[in-house]
Amino acid sequence: MSSADDDPPVRHGRIAQFDHYADTYGEAVGQSVSFTGKGVDYYASRKAEHLLELVTRQLGDPALMRALDVGCGLGITDQYLSGRFAELHGVDTAALAVERAAARNPEVRYRAYDGVDLPYQDGELDLVFAICVVHHVPPEERHGFVVEAARVVRPGGLVVVFEHNPINPLTRVAVGRCEFDEGVILVSRRAATRLLTGAGLDVVERRFTTFVPFEGALAHRIDRRLHWLPVGAQHYVAARRGVALVNTERGAGGCQRPSA
């Protein structure tokens, strides 16, 4: 029997090209989770609620924070975050998706990028988050992805990774039904933790989420009470940047320890 943090079996395959799904993303996700009775907007709003609560606990008032959504896609989650931060930015490798996100959320500052170098200065932001993005990044590139996120966060700021929980059988059903998730390698809570600590960050919170597919205060209360239980449909790991970053090399191997 596997533990709550065991990695799922590795499944090799293609990484989706999201511009191809810019017009059909909502429909594709909706079909994959239709058996739950909820659509993509419901799950996006739940993650936004968790992110805002996390930021309040760990950093303070979100309205004072500069935040970046890496892999923003069509900006569906950002519609529940727009206006809640001092600045909200979004980047994605899919230029058409970025255009659609900007039209959906005109207050958010969106840019297309190359998937390697974030277009921000060192320590420019308070918060960087990636929502169900890392499982689309090839395993050999995930360390570099997180290192780059850590680079643009200020000392004391947060990097947060939300991912599907591979232990949950209904999550696996939903992923298996989603055409642009074909061949992805899901990221367990343990794997996400290793990625963040491997980039020199200090983990401050790890929670399972989305235990029931209904709305309201009761659903959120259940998430808060059962966050330790490894059966939630999704999970997140949040880590804080210290004064100096350890292991800032982007490759899978090697370790560089810069001066403070």
**More confident position, 177 or 68:** 68
CATH number at residue 103: 3.40.50.150
Asked whether residue 5 is domain-assigned, the answer is: no
Q: 194: Cβ–Cβ under 8 A, 6 or more apart, which residues?
A: none
Asked whether residue 12 is domain-assigned, the answer is: no
pLDDT per residue as tens digits for the range 199-218: 999 999 999 999 888 777 88
The boundaries of the domain holding residue 221 are 18-241
Confidence of residue 1 (pLDDT cuts 50, 70, 90): very low
Burial pattern 153-185, b for ≥16 Cβ within 10 A else e, equals beeebbbbbbbbbbbbeebeebbeebebbeebb
Place of tokens 């079996």: 9
* Percent above pLDDT 90 for the chain: 62
The pLDDT of residue 249 is 63
Asked whether residue 82 is domain-assigned, the answer is: yes
Would you say the C-alpha torsion 117, 148, 82, 131 has a positive or negative sign?
positive
Q: Which of 194, 178, 26 shows the shortest CA–CA distance to 100?
A: 26
Asked whether residue 114 is domain-assigned, the answer is: yes
The pLDDT of residue 30 is 55
Asked whether residue 110 is domain-assigned, the answer is: yes
**More confident position, 43 or 106:** 106
Q: How far is CA 131 from CA 1, 43, 76, 168, in A?
A: 28, 11, 11, 18
Asked whether residue 254 is domain-assigned, the answer is: no
Rounded Cα distance between 238 and 227, Å, is: 14
pLDDT per residue as tens digits for the range 153-185: 999 999 999 999 999 888 888 887 777 677 888
Asked whether residue 1 is domain-assigned, the answer is: no
pLDDT at 245 over 70: no
Q: 99: Cβ–Cβ under 8 A, 6 or more apart, which residues?
A: none
Rounded Cα distance between 57 and 224, Å, is: 13
Lookup: tokens for 212: 């029931």
Q: How many domains does the chain have?
A: 1
Confidence of residue 56 (pLDDT cuts 50, 70, 90): very high
Sheet holding 66-70, edge to edge: 109-112, 87-92, 66-70, 125-131, 153-164, 234-241, 201-209
Asked whether residue 13 is domain-assigned, the answer is: no
